[in-house]
Amino acid sequence: MKATHLYLLLQVFLSASVLVHTFAPLNLAVGVGALLWRKIDSYLHETCHPKWIALDATGLQVDLGNKMFGQHIASRIILQAVNEFMTNDNPKKPLVLSLHGSSGTGKNFVSQLIADNIYKEGMDSNFVHMFTSTLHFPHSSHLDTYKSQLQQWIKGNVSNCAQSMFIFDEMDKMHPSLIDSIKPYLDYYHKLDGVSYRKAIFIFLSNAGGEIIAQTALDFWKAGRDREKIELKDLETLLSLEAFNNKKSGLSHSSLIDNNLVDFFVPFLPLEYRHVVQCVMAEMKARGLRPDRGVADRLAKDVVYFPKSERVFSSQGCKTIEKKLKFYL
Ligand SMILES: Nc1ncnc2c1ncn2[C@@H]1O[C@H](COP(=O)(O)OP(=O)(O)OP(=O)(O)O)[C@@H](O)[C@H]1O
Ligand SMILES: [Mg+2]
């Protein structure tokens, strides 16, 4: 920097400080302005603050009741688990939910409902993170890199905001050692390297156990028993055993299960014809169309059901409805 520049800079600095001292009210105005701006900014931009992150318990209850079809067990557990966790000021560990069920039964959908009712920005929140194993961790040769990246990522995000939510999709396709690398964050530690993970939420999604759940639902159907009578206890033990023993499931080899780090195994039942109809009606409504039962019936009839002879449960749940609808309008 040239001497003349330095001189000029000094002049500006001196005159500014003279001004600030001479005009104390101006000083005050600047301070108030900055404070106001910070306030406005925190309204406009998401921060890790109760204004942006707070459970809307009624909203969650209403959404689970009105938007999610055929999942009485999952709805009940999720509502209770999320409510208890979010109203506890001092949880002993993060909330860990493991959602199981066959395709298109609502596992991603319910994760979105949870996010929508905790974070003002829902799934778009900077504090909601989604990992899909085949997308984010595709090469088993890079496992060590993935492990350290994942750990750093979780640590960084929780340090930034304790009430972060992590959704791990396709958990059954995730390498067991990668699952094990997140284990410390799920445990009952007060703090790890100065960071507390106890206010975070971890949601694991997988198809593991889907067949067992479907078999139980089919047994009930065959016995003429009401689907709503299926209880968590009819499935929970089977489910944790399946997740533990199924050689295809990444969960089976990991130590998440034998360490009891999963708070709830949440079963998603296979969906029936009537639920598919509800999904079509909901989709029409979401598109601003008048729900048309005739359209819903025609579409629902074309969906593939299993077992082949009885056609009780939709093989893809409600998954393909969104794409198919336009052909039925
Ligand atoms: N139980 C349900 N109630 C209402 N809508 C549902 C339900 N299940 C699925 N849907 C609809 O179908 C779409 C696909 O479901 P979703 O992605 O949640 O399935 P999934 O269980 O995650 O399946 P996969 O195991 O294949 O990933 C959802 O976005 C939602 O519109
Ligand atoms: Mg899914």
DSSP string of 5-53, one letter each residue: HHHHHHHHHHHHHHHHHHTHHHHHHHHHHHHHHHHHHHHHS--SSTTTB
User: Structural domain boundaries of the chain?
Assistant: 3-44, 57-268, 273-328
pLDDT above 80 for 10: no
* C-alpha–C-alpha distance, residues 116 and 111, integer Å: 9
Q: Which of 26-30, 175-179, 266-270 has the least mean pLDDT?
A: 26-30
pTM to 2 decimal places: 0.87
What integer pLDDT is reported at residue 313 of this predicted model? 97
Ligand 2 centroid from CA 103, angstroms: 7
| Residues that place a CB less than 5 A from ion ligand 2 | 107-108
> Is the distance from the beta carbon of residue 104 to the nearest atom of ligand 1 less than 6 Å?
yes
Across all residues in the chain, what is the average pLDDT? 88
Position 234 confidence tier, pLDDT thresholds 50, 70, 90:
confident
3-state SS string over 177-216? Answer: HHHHHHHHHHCCCCCECCECCCCCEEEEEECCCHHHHHHH
pLDDT above 90 for 134: no
What integer pLDDT is reported at residue 28 of this predicted model? 76
Ligand 1 centroid from CA 322, angstroms: 10
Q: Which of 24-38, 51-65, 276-290, 306-320 has the least mean pLDDT?
A: 24-38
Instruction: Please tell me which residue, 69 or 183, carries the higher pLDDT value.
Output: 69
Kindly report, residue by residue over 249-307, the tens digit of the pLDDT: 556 556 666 667 899 989 999 999 999 999 999 999 999 999 999 999 999 999 999 99
> Is the distance from the beta carbon of residue 267 to the nearest atom of ligand 1 less than 6 Å?
no
* C-alpha–C-alpha distance, residues 145 and 177, integer Å: 12
82 SS3 class: helix
> Is the distance from the beta carbon of residue 146 to the nearest atom of ligand 1 less than 6 Å?
no
C-alpha pair distances (Å), 269 with each of 2, 100, 105, 315, 319: 75, 9, 7, 11, 14
Mean per-residue pLDDT, 321-328: 95
Q: Is 107 annotated as a binding residue?
A: yes
Nearest to 95 by CA among 251, 188, 232, 200: 200
Instruction: Please tell me which residue, 194 or 18, carries the higher pLDDT value.
Output: 194
What CATH architecture does domain 57-268 belong to?
Answer: 3-Layer(aba) Sandwich (3.40)
